[in-house]
Chain A
Amino acid sequence: DAKTTQPNSMESNEEEPVHLPCNHSTISGTDYIHWYRQLPSQGPEYVIHGLTSNVNNRMASLAIAEDRKSSTLILHRATLRDAAVYYCILKGGTGNQFYFGTGTSLTVIP
């Protein structure tokens, strides 16, 4: 699976939007972009995923660059409960495994 690069950490003020970037310059045409987040002492949880078009759900939005070499997870209004490590993962091909990178640790400041 292709590699992703994310900043180690980011901060956001509560109730402000947060844009979490992910670079994936070696993405292949069949790779989906997945985002998961992990709250402290919990297993990861699904946030959103997409292939080419921007995606929205109740948790977040995913903006995918036209060349698909980068994407941005957007939390429209950060809350204290959004403080977590956010992982951007590429998944394609026949394997079912998800391999995690280092992720971005998001701190939300009250």
Chain B
Amino acid sequence: GAVVSQHPSRVICKSGTSVKIECRSLDFQATTMFWYRQFPKQSLMLMATSNEGSKATYEQGVEKDKFLINHASLTLSTLTVTSAHPEDSSFYICSARQNEAFFGQGTRLTVV
């Protein structure tokens, strides 16, 4: 199947700093990518839809100024968690669709 790759797989940052997570579709072009967040023992929550060449669409309750999304090419979307705080610690997962949805391996963010 298609491959979606995330980087980094794990990151620890200090409170108040920003962290960028990359999501790449390795063998297909994705005009749309999706960003999810997952807290321990909970399901995936869709945060936003990333659109190549245009603004991202955020789900209700997700702060667009805190979670900056850039989708500059057909194979790369980035999520930047700005001014991170401990409550932003979570598992972030990206996805892209080629018929079915393919997911990255996830990024474990820990804010200390």
Residue numbers of A with Cβ under 8 A of B are 34, 36, 38, 41-46, 49, 85, 87, 96-103
Contact = CB atoms under 8 A, between A and B. Distances in A.
B49 A100 contact: no
Given A97-B34, A98-B101, A42 B46 contact: no
A49 B44 contact: no
Nearest to B2: A46
18 contacts: A34-B100, A41-B106, A43-B4, A43-B103, A43-B106, A44-B44, A44-B101, A46-B100, A46-B102, A49-B100, A85-B43, A96-B32, A96-B97, A98-B34, A98-B101, A99-B46, A101-B43, A102-B43
A85 B106 CA distance: 15
A35 to B, nearest CB: 10
A100 B43 contact: yes
Interface secondary structure of A, over-half rule: loop
Interface of B: 1, 4, 6, 32, 34, 36, 43-46, 49, 91, 93-95, 97, 100-106, 108
Contacts of B43: 85, 87, 100-103
Given A34-B101, A43-B103, A100-B46, 7 more contacts: A36-B103, A44-B44, A44-B103, A46-B100, A85-B43, A96-B97, A97-B34
